[in-house]
Amino acid sequence: MPKMKTDKGAAKRIKVTGSGRLRRGQAFRGHNFETKSSVRMRRLGRSADVSKSDEKSVRRMLGI
């Protein structure tokens, strides 16, 4: 059986913390900044946890 390959697209977007949690960047930060408030942009700049429902599939993509 061949070795399982890491999904490189997912690996570039998702980081694993020391305690094993999965962190991701937030969406809606690409364009249309004039309509978004500074507070909203600052909040979107922080990383967020991967949701519980997606965690199993994301871990499989990352090979963990």
Domain-embedded: residue 46: yes
Q: Does the residue 58 lie in any domain? A: yes
The residue range of the domain holding 41 is 8-62
Structural domain count of the chain: 1
Q: What is the pLDDT of residue 1?
A: 85
CA distances from 5 to 22, 26, 62 (A): 19, 25, 8
Q: CA 2 from chain center: how many Å?
A: 27
Q: Average pLDDT, stretch 32-56?
A: 97
Is residue 22 in a domain?
A: yes
**pTM score, two decimals?**
0.83
CATH (domain of 40): 4.10.410.60
Tell me the average pLDDT across 16-25. 97
Is the pLDDT assigned to residue 36 strictly greater than 90? yes
Mean pLDDT across the chain? 96
What mean pLDDT comes out for the span 34-41? Answer: 97
* Residue 2 falls inside a structural domain: no
Residues 48-54: what's their mean pLDDT?
Answer: 97
